[in-house]
Amino acid sequence: MGILYDQAPLKDKVERALSDDFKHHAIETAQDVITQKRQALVDQVENWEDFREKAAEIRNHVLENLDYYVKQFAQNAEAAGCTMHYAPTAEDAIDTILDIFDELGETSCVKSKSMMTEEIGLNERLEEHGIHPIETDCAENIIQTAGDAPSHIVVPALHFDRNAIRDLYRERKGYTGTNDPEEITHFLRTMLRSEFMNAHVGITGCNFGVAETGSCTLVSNEGNARMASTIPETQIIVMGIERIVPDLRSLDVMMELLVRSAVGAKITSSFSLNTGPAKPGEVDGPKTVHIVMVNNGRTNILASKYRPMLRCIRCGACMNTCPVYRHITGHGYGSIYPGPMGIVLTPLLVGYSKAEKLPYACTLCGACSDVCPVKIPLHDLILKHRIDMVRLGYTPAVESSLFTAGAKVFSNRLLYEIATTVGAPGTQILTGNSGHIDSGSVWIPVLNGWTYSRDLDVMKHKKFRTQLAEYQKQKQNRHQDQEDA
């Protein structure tokens, strides 16, 4: 994708996504399957809520003491033989990685899935410098081969089906087989295996850095991350500075939650805990390990009211449950971080001027906050964004004026009475005798944003207050009659 956020108008991106029936249907099915699997496994854990509480506590503790844990992690990783790099910005991270390639004189590498490298647009920048990264995760390889953007942070090719994948590899990689997943996987495995065997550099992400040991964890279902971190002589690990847990005991809690929340499984096929380069006598493992810790705005988030967002462990559960994601799909958001977590994180990374209306792509239903394994109050943070956007003047003038006028009316009894009295005949004029304002109201500016896909009932002539007063009067009369009798 090359950029963290596609700045086309949100409306255009959403309309494009909505008009793609195939993608839309694929996401609906995937959401249902993943959610059911997750729920079944969550139900097996009696004290699931205690786990969530504990995980949030661990993540909060790390964030409150981030300087301490970054230092401890770096010291222990260095003691294990890693070379540490600290990158304040995405550009710094890219420069650091390019320097490593320059020094090695290498022009290609194998890569396992990493959201941090997506965030900094690493692949495109490597290509610009003549370095060819090969994505080895099946889904990432599909996305890379198609030149497409991921639509989910855990299952990036969620919007492809087996026919689309078969056609893609036929067209671009000379695949001659059927749409059978096993056959396609076999083709991919053969293709990637030779890449692994010839690679001198492997780039991976890091699910969690363990401060007490200086280890980096890799969680995958295909074993490709393990190969990318053990076969090449040089491994480059790219991680966000916040992805640290204090110790192995805390890692245990996080893993319990991560895998269940992400893919609805008890455990993944591969879990690696890598501590430095291979030691003398060890058969597998790189000779050199570079760890690039990327800040890219995280310390600003840390110092803000949005700090809870840094607890995120990138499990994707919030998007799997989100009704908006279900309809507009990952691509509707235009960010490499879609869904509720993306709505919170993207504006923090790119700013409101670029993230435009993204915080409004949410119903504030709160389903995401209910499933988040580290208890991030996502819908609260989204609301905070909206408040900040209004405060900083990012809302259109018409909208601001309307809401300012609305606030005045609702906070003044006399104005409220007048508005509700004239409101009924006013809306009647707009609707004729239909009783509601429907999609035929496209000519009414501002209002049509709401009535485009929903009907808006007219205001009733008899106001609620009048009805209540009448009811109370009748009740009082009945009471009086009973007493008189």
Nearer to ligand SF4, 201 or 372 (CB): 372
Is 292 a binding residue for ligand SF4 by CB under 6 A? The answer is no
Among 10, 302, 318, 362, contact with ligand SF4 (rule: CB under 6 A):
318
DSSP 268-289: -SEEEEE-SSPPTT-SSS-SEE
Among 59, 226, 260, 314, contact with ligand SF4 (rule: CB under 6 A):
314
Nearer to ligand SF4, 115 or 143 (CB): 115
Q: Minimal CA–CA distance to 31: which of 270, 381, 367? A: 367
- Angle of helix 397-410 versus helix 413-431 axis, rounded to 10: 120
User: DSSP class of residue 279?
Assistant: P
Nearer to ligand SF4, 166 or 260 (CB): 260
Nearer to ligand SF4, 150 or 316 (CB): 316
Task: Say how far apart CA 270 and CA 286 lie, in whole Å.
Answer: 18
Three-class SS of 295-321: CCCHHHHHCCCCHHHHHCCCCCHHHHH
Q: Cα-flanking dihedrals φ and ψ of residue 144, to 5°?
A: -65, -45
In whole angstroms, how close is the CB of 335 to ligand SF4 at the nearest point? Answer: 13
Among 316, 330, 332, 347, contact with ligand SF4 (rule: CB under 6 A):
316
Range 261-280, binding ligand SF4 (CB under 6 A): 261
Residue window 348-377: x/- pattern of binding to ligand SF4, with contact defined by CB under 6 A: -----------------------xxxx-x-
User: DSSP class of residue 360?
Assistant: G
Look up residue 392 and give its amino acid: L
Task: Say how far apart CA 442 and CA 450 lie, in whole Å.
Answer: 10
Strands (E), 99-176: 108-111, 132-135
Range 131-190, binding ligand SF4 (CB under 6 A): none
Nearer to ligand SF4, 87 or 153 (CB): 153
Nearer to ligand SF4, 201 or 355 (CB): 355
Task: Say how far apart CA 62 and CA 69 lie, in whole Å.
Answer: 7
Other Cβ atoms less than 10 A from the Cβ of 272: the count is 17
In whole angstroms, how close is the CB of 373 to ligand SF4 at the nearest point? Answer: 6
Task: Say how far apart CA 46 and CA 477 lie, in whole Å.
Answer: 56
Can you name the residues that pair with 219 across neighbouring β-strands?
A: 271
DSSP 156-175: TTTT--HHHHHHHHHHHH--
Task: Say how far apart CA 213 and CA 427 lie, in whole Å.
Answer: 67
Residues in contact with ligand SF4, counted by CB under 6 A, come to a total of 15
Q: Please work out, in degrees rounded to the nearest 5, the angle formed at the alpha carbon of residue 354 by the alpha carbons of 353 and 359.
A: 85
Is 315 a binding residue for ligand SF4 by CB under 6 A? The answer is yes
Helix (H) or strand (E) holding 451, with range, is: helix 448-451
Q: Minimal CA–CA distance to 52: which of 359, 396, 375? A: 375
Range 202-261, binding ligand SF4 (CB under 6 A): 261
Nearer to ligand SF4, 236 or 315 (CB): 315
Is 313 a binding residue for ligand SF4 by CB under 6 A? The answer is yes
Range 451-470, binding ligand SF4 (CB under 6 A): none
Among 116, 253, 341, 458, contact with ligand SF4 (rule: CB under 6 A):
341
Nearer to ligand SF4, 94 or 341 (CB): 341
Contact region for ligand SF4 (CB under 6 A) — 72-80, 269-277, 285-293, 316-324? 316-324
Contact region for ligand SF4 (CB under 6 A) — 314-322, 325-333, 435-443, 446-454? 314-322
In whole angstroms, how close is the CB of 390 to ligand SF4 at the nearest point? Answer: 24
Among 143, 227, 291, 312, contact with ligand SF4 (rule: CB under 6 A):
312
Q: List residues binding ligand SF4 (CB under 6 A).
A: 261, 312-318, 341, 371-374, 376, 378
